[in-house]
Structure 1
Amino acid sequence: MKTHIYSAAGIAALMGLLPGAAAHAASGNASTATGAAAGKVIKPIVLTHTAGAALSFGTFDPGTGGKVIVTTSGAGSVTKAVTFVPGISVTSADQFTLTGGKKQNFSITTTGGAVTNGVNSMAFTTSPSSTSGSTSTTGTFSFTVGGKLTVAGGETGGHYTGSYTATVAYN
């Protein structure tokens, strides 16, 4: 059996009881802690116009004026003296799809515009089927755009074309 002999001075030194070996408390003027940092990267939001889709105000007689209204489901109606040409007037809403991060909230805005045949011009406003949304679990969302065309009356016959802008942005 081994016997260990410890001196009182050695034990006191180990415990910090001897002068010169005393423990000191930290200064009260400074303190340090570790913080946390985080970030989340999501896929960029990308808006795509559906090929072949268009906001179509159909075929109509302008009469003395009024409006052509196309709902976001594509149904058309007219006001005042504007009349659809029976049997050949087809209206449709425009279509878009966006892709981005999964389950991300976003807003939708659309501008108005004008359709022209080179001589005459008719202004229109647009309205999306939704002004906000959230992407699916696959990161997609689709919406349509309807509008109101203002017809002054007496416009020259012909094919009128124009454009407008749709914008989506993460919230």
Structure 2
Amino acid sequence: MKKLILLAAASAVVSAPAMAAPGDTSTAQGSATAEVVAPITLTHVTNAALDFGTFTTGDNGGTVVVDLAGDGTDSGDVTLIGGSAEAADAFTVAGDASRSFSITTSAGSVGNGTDTMNFTTNAPTDGTLNGSGAAAFSVGGTLTVAGGESAGVYTGTYDVTVAYN
């Protein structure tokens, strides 16, 4: 009977499960990155302006359109006079090399203290900075002439905004 008790005790030790370490937690190392880019900067080119030129108008009005190349055309009861020098406006952009950016422009108006004429702008909707982080673009527009405006020099402004895409 001694053999039987020893055999039973030995088999109990062999068949008991091994005690494992707790497995309810685990830790691993993560990684993080960040990239700081040069701020985007818009600069108006010195002495540049969206210039709708010199024109006459009758009572019925019309438009003057200046394209991105600076070429002007008249329509309706508006006539650009000989020697008129229309021009597109000009801007430069600086920032992080090879990044793309969006361009938005607002409408505006020009006035001479007595009369006002409204205009819309025309510009590219986006651009890409070159490998040196530079770009340039032009802004044209369409001036609406109601007709009968007084003679004189008209001036005004509009807004241009660039943002990284």
2:138 is the alignment partner of 1:144 = yes
In structure 2, the partner of 1:38 is: 33
In structure 1, the partner of 2:65 is: 69
Aligned residues: 147
In structure 1, the partner of 2:9 is: none
Q: Name the TM-score, length of structure 1 as normaliser.
A: 0.83
Deviation at 1:28, TM superposition (A): 2.6
Q: Separation in 1 of the partners of 2:35 and 2:84?
A: 49
Q: Which runs of 5+ in 2 are unaligned?
A: 1-17
What letter matches 2:80 in structure 1? F
The SS at the match of 2:42 is: strand
**Correspondence list, 1:9-158, <5 A:** 25-63=20-58, 64-86=60-82, 88-128=83-123, 130-158=124-152
Deviation at 1:24, TM superposition (A): 6.8
Q: Residues 24 and 164 (structure 1 numbering): CA distance in 2 closer, same or farther, change over 3 Å?
A: farther
Flag as ranges the 4+ runs of structure 1 deviating above 3 A. 23-26
Deviation at 1:30, TM superposition (A): 1.4
The SS at the match of 2:77 is: coil
Q: Which runs of 5+ in 1 are unaligned?
A: 1-22
Q: Quick check: which one's strand share is greater?
A: 2
Superposition CA RMSD, Å? 1.3
* Identity percentage of aligned residues: 50
